[in-house]
Structure 1
Amino acid sequence: MLLARTADNLFWLARYVERAENTARILDAAARLSSLPAGYGGSSNEWTSAVAATGGLDRFRELYGDDESHQAVIDFLAFSPDNPASIRTCIEVARSNARAVRTALTAEMWDSINSAWLELRQFRSEGMTRPRLNELLSFVKEASLRFDGSAYRTMLRNDAYYFTRLGSFLERADATARILDVKYHVLLPEGEPVGGSLDYFQWSSILRSVSALTAYHWVYRQNLRPWLVADLLILRREMPRSLAGCSENLTRFLDEIARDYGQQGPSQRIARATFARLQNADVDAVFAEGLHEFLLSIIAENNRLGAAIADQYLT
């Protein structure tokens, strides 16, 4: 059985690596949307919407005031030490957690996170061109994949591995819900028809940003439909970034920990309840409830699960 401090470091190491990747994906979506022709741009600023997707809009306005330019958003989301979700902050905190539990990591895991921290230094906010931004975002996504792959391929399947995976899937579920919510609640202008040309280009950009466009066409074999995109990213368990897929994995790994520790608790019950809700839902019922309201409730449940895991195992 791990010490609570070790489990906490592993849990947050994985969360911060995942958060760095998610922030990169959100920035990628904003960059794609900003490059659409003016006639396809929403009434809201896609760069500000990217900040809203990370949950950092209030902090952004404290630091940058009325400046909603792409330079300000890139600085805030990629480099700002005052933003706990910025890419640089996430990688630095992840490395700090990794150093604290280095003996619990494999050599490949440590090398991947340490190399990411070292290589990130070559990027600067000043003079960030679009090609350089693309290079940064690709680097961050690849660094996360290297860490995730090294954990999957080299870690012993014990509680250290389970807590690492819990951190990844908890963070991933939160990001998917927020990206979907911002797309549907913020980006589409009032009066613009769902399924219209603006809606189509925005959904396409969102799917590309989460590497799900190919998966969409493989599953549905038709043009983009907002309700099918929502179905893919919410209810399809075979989609790795979907809410149902993340919930299934959270339930599985919490059950593994319960078996190893010989005791279940609130976190297992919350995870099972959320997974059962997603299993029993259909996309028509989700839209009837209101996609925004449904996603807010999932984010709240995800936060409640994170708090339960911390109370049960990490303190």
Structure 2
Amino acid sequence: MLGRTANGIFWMFRYLERSENMARLLEAGLRMALTRDIVSSEDEWRSVIAAAGQRQAFEAQHATYTGVQAWNFILRDKANPMSILSMFELVRTNARLARNAISGELWEAINDNWMQISDLLAKPVGQSDVAEAVTVIKRAGTLAHGAMVGSMLRDHAYHFARAGTMVERADAIVRILDIKYYLLLPALSYVGSSLDTSQWDQVLRSVSGDRAYRSLNAGQIDARGIVEFLVLDDRFPRSLAFCHSALREELAALARLHGGEGQANRMMREADIRLSNQSIEDIFDKGLHEFLLDFSATNAAIGQAISNDYRFLA
């Protein structure tokens, strides 16, 4: 497979995962805002923008954090190159460039959803329509992944698609955990309070992990238990452990197809050893923020190594 085709597929699924994760963050913000006035609950919307990594860009455009400003900035603002509308346009562009390497069903799913999303976000989104927009974007990701799994050969294209998904998903989980740890909680005195519990519940909801966590923990919301679930529980498909386990399998499959391992495989093994040797006590003793910084740097380096190994820019 040509490097530029592999690059297109890898980034098509990174952008797809990113747009879906942004929609999940937005949904969590909507849920948090429901406890107050959905339009004026600025603390909640500030945390959503920060978790999306868009605080500087947002504040360059807006002096306040109202719901209408926040969700339109994330969904469709032309001044935001990381908006969901921009991300999904990149999904479709990369799909078109790699069309000969993906299935017809996957192309149709992406193209049809692009047309629906672009129509939906053609004008500013009001309070009555934002929930529908989030639902459509999440469904678009589900349909595209379903088409990929159900119709594509398990060849280079499939494994690059899965690898891109897992690199991006791990990055999103790190961002969500770190933003809760540092930005959502206003003071140490709130630890264990109803506010703290509510915020951790929204973290779980933003990754669609609330039902799974509660089924394993008798409905109890506990910060340490949630971090362990989202970092170390490889049964949950959005945990860091699951993402890196799946990424390791995709890189091993690519190495077999190419007849040899690259730097990404070696880095993946080292990352696996480090994570498998960690307990939740080790993580909190070291510091959750420091652990997340290390994991994020390693995850980004593996993503870059994949690009280098398979000559994405050649």
TM-score (structure 2 length as normaliser): 0.94
Post-superposition Cα deviations, 1:146-180, rounded to whole Å, max 9, x if no partner, equal: 00111111110011100000111111000011011
Q: Does 1:297 align with 2:297?
A: no
Alignment partner, residue 50 of structure 2:
52
Q: 1:258 aligns with which of 251, 255, 258?
A: 255
The Cα shift of 1:132 comes to: 1.1
Alignment partner, residue 280 of structure 1:
277
Contact 1:258 1:264 (8 Å CA) reproduced: yes
Comparing 215-224 and 100-109, the one that deviates more:
215-224
Q: How does 1:177-188 map to 2 (within 5 A)?
A: 177-188=174-185
Specify the code of the residue in structure 1 equivalent to 2:15.
Y
User: Structure 1 residues 120, 222: closer, same or farther in 2, change over 3 A?
Assistant: closer
Q: Name the SS of the counterpart of 1:67 in structure 2.
A: coil
Residues in 2 aligned to 1:126 and 1:13: alpha-carbon distance in whole angstroms: 25
Contact 2:32 2:202 (8 Å CA) reproduced: yes
Residues in 1 aligned to 2:86 and 2:201: alpha-carbon distance in whole angstroms: 29
Alignment partner, residue 92 of structure 1:
89
Contact 1:181 1:292 (8 Å CA) reproduced: yes
Post-superposition Cα deviations, 1:87-129, rounded to whole Å, max 9, x if no partner, equal: 1011101000011111111111001110111001332475633
The Cα shift of 1:37 comes to: 4.7
Q: Name the SS of the counterpart of 2:129 in structure 1.
A: helix
Alignment partner, residue 218 of structure 1:
215
Give unmatched runs, 5+ long, in structure 1.
none
Alignment partner, residue 59 of structure 2:
61
User: Structure 1 residues 125, 92: closer, same or farther in 2, change over 3 A?
Assistant: closer
Alignment partner, residue 159 of structure 1:
156
Residues in 1 aligned to 2:149 and 2:189: alpha-carbon distance in whole angstroms: 44
Alignment partner, residue 169 of structure 1:
166
Q: 1:112 aligns with which of 109, 112, 117?
A: 109
Q: Name the SS of the counterpart of 1:10 in structure 2.
A: helix
The Cα shift of 1:72 comes to: 1.9
Q: Name the SS of the counterpart of 1:84 in structure 2.
A: coil
Post-superposition Cα deviations, 1:62-106, rounded to whole Å, max 9, x if no partner, equal: 2x1423222222122110233232110111010000111111111
Comparing 234-243 and 74-83, the one that deviates more:
74-83
Contact 1:238 1:245 (8 Å CA) reproduced: yes
Aligned length: 310
User: Structure 1 residues 151, 48: closer, same or farther in 2, change over 3 A?
Assistant: same
Give unmatched runs, 5+ long, in structure 2.
none
Post-superposition Cα deviations, 1:28-63, rounded to whole Å, max 9, x if no partner, equal: 11111122259xx99x7221221211222222222x
Q: 2:232 aligns with which of 217, 232, 235?
A: 235
Contact 1:183 1:202 (8 Å CA) reproduced: yes
User: Structure 1 residues 58, 259: closer, same or farther in 2, change over 3 A?
Assistant: same
Residues in 2 aligned to 1:125 and 1:9: alpha-carbon distance in whole angstroms: 26
Residues in 2 aligned to 1:69 and 1:48: alpha-carbon distance in whole angstroms: 9
Residues in 2 aligned to 1:263 and 1:191: alpha-carbon distance in whole angstroms: 50
Residues in 1 aligned to 2:12 and 2:155: alpha-carbon distance in whole angstroms: 17
Percent identity, aligned pairs only? 37
Alignment partner, residue 3 of structure 1:
2
Residues in 2 aligned to 1:125 and 1:26: alpha-carbon distance in whole angstroms: 21
Comparing 64-73 and 183-192, the one that deviates more:
64-73
Q: Does 1:22 align with 2:15?
A: no
Contact 2:68 2:126 (8 Å CA) reproduced: no
Residues in 2 aligned to 1:227 and 1:24: alpha-carbon distance in whole angstroms: 26
Specify the code of the residue in structure 1 equivalent to 2:175.
R
Alignment partner, residue 83 of structure 1:
80
Specify the code of the residue in structure 1 equivalent to 2:8.
N
Residues in 1 aligned to 2:167 and 2:128: alpha-carbon distance in whole angstroms: 31
Q: Name the SS of the counterpart of 1:192 in structure 2.
A: helix
Residues in 2 aligned to 1:227 and 1:284: alpha-carbon distance in whole angstroms: 9
User: Structure 1 residues 82, 167: closer, same or farther in 2, change over 3 A?
Assistant: farther
Residues in 1 aligned to 2:6 and 2:20: alpha-carbon distance in whole angstroms: 22
Comparing 234-243 and 302-311, the one that deviates more:
302-311
Specify the code of the residue in structure 2 equivalent to 1:169.
M
Alignment partner, residue 270 of structure 1:
267
User: Structure 1 residues 124, 262: closer, same or farther in 2, change over 3 A?
Assistant: closer
Aligned-pair RMSD on alpha carbons?
1.8
Comparing 246-255 and 65-74, the one that deviates more:
65-74
The Cα shift of 1:191 comes to: 3.0
The Cα shift of 1:195 comes to: 2.2
